[in-house]
Amino acid sequence: MDKMKVTYEVMLGLSAELVLDEALRRYKSDKLYREIDEALASKDEVAFRTLTDELKALI
C-alpha cells in the first residue's frame, strides 16, 4: 500500500508541474502577442522580428 501512495504522490506532483508549465507558457505567449501588437503599432520592425522569433521558439 505504501508503494501505491508514493506512486500516487509522484504522479500528482508531475501533473501539478505540467499544469504550471502550461500556465507559464500561456502567460509568456500572451505577453509576447501583446508586445508584438505594440511593435506593429509603433512600426518597430526590429522589435517585431525579435519578438516573433521568441514566440516561434516558445511554441
Contact at 8 Å (CB) between 59 and 33? no
Q: Say what the pLDDT of residue 39 is.
A: 98
Q: Say what the pLDDT of residue 59 is.
A: 85
Cell numbers found for residue 3: 508503494
Q: Say what the pLDDT of residue 3 is.
A: 80
Q: Say what the pLDDT of residue 1 is.
A: 57
- Outline where 1-59 has alpha helix (H): 2-41, 45-58
Contact at 8 Å (CB) between 30 and 54? no
Cell numbers found for residue 37: 501588437
Which sequence spans correspond to the domains of the chain?
2-58
From CA 36, how far away is CA 53, in angstroms rounded? 10
pLDDT average per 10 residues of sequence, the chain (59 residues):
83 96 97 98 98 95
